Structure 1
């Protein structure tokens, strides 16, 4: 689900999962308690900007990453760049800027991985490319709740 929808409470998150969402972007400004409450009602992975672009709030939560993972897993961490010029809509005129932005996002991802390692919180991550959170809950098709395996 798009980062612009941003379910902010357990009820809306659970409804989106049951409607068919395989992963949902949550607003980067949600508190740790909010993330814990959402995780209690849904199995669908969260997508969370650890550093959000300015148009999505500009939050920077790198130092909270270990706790975000502990409370929100399965969790896909995303790296936008706060206080950086936008690249959308992309065109040839922005090629060099887009490439520089991509390199910086990768660098910041590496910084977070290194930070997790320094704090001993880098064990137990899913293998790179892993996309199977397990059975997801769906609204009933024939009167019973449907458990559907997420496809990759």
Structure 2
């Protein structure tokens, strides 16, 4: 029989910030799966679409920066979204080295289908709007510190 870890144990699993973030992320992604399945997107594809709904016609490199994804991860996502008819990739006429990603009319239409998802996630979280705003603010601060 193992004895319970003390809260001050620096190597206790439940005392790890990384585990709290990792396990919460796994459960959040699991929560999104059926909601996104209804509109034909995976969670990573949804993140790409969110970024494009905010700023359409961006370079692949800008999109990668925004999503914290390298091109090896982002390119297959974009290929699948392009095959699904939601985005198109094209060379920048001003700089042939750059590839621009643009939403298709179908990609723009998916935004309407996705509109109810954030509220469903908020309800499932059990957190108030204020708690979500504070948590997001704290996580953005953490992300900024880790990225520096």
TM-score, normalised with respect to structure 2:
0.31
Q: Give the number of the structure whose residues are more often strand, by fraction.
A: 1
Q: Give the number of the structure whose residues are more often helix, by fraction.
A: 2
Query: Quick check: which has more Rg, 1 or 2?
Result: 2
TM-score, normalised with respect to structure 1:
0.31
Asked which structure has the greater RCO (Cα within 8 Å, sep 6+), the reply is: 1
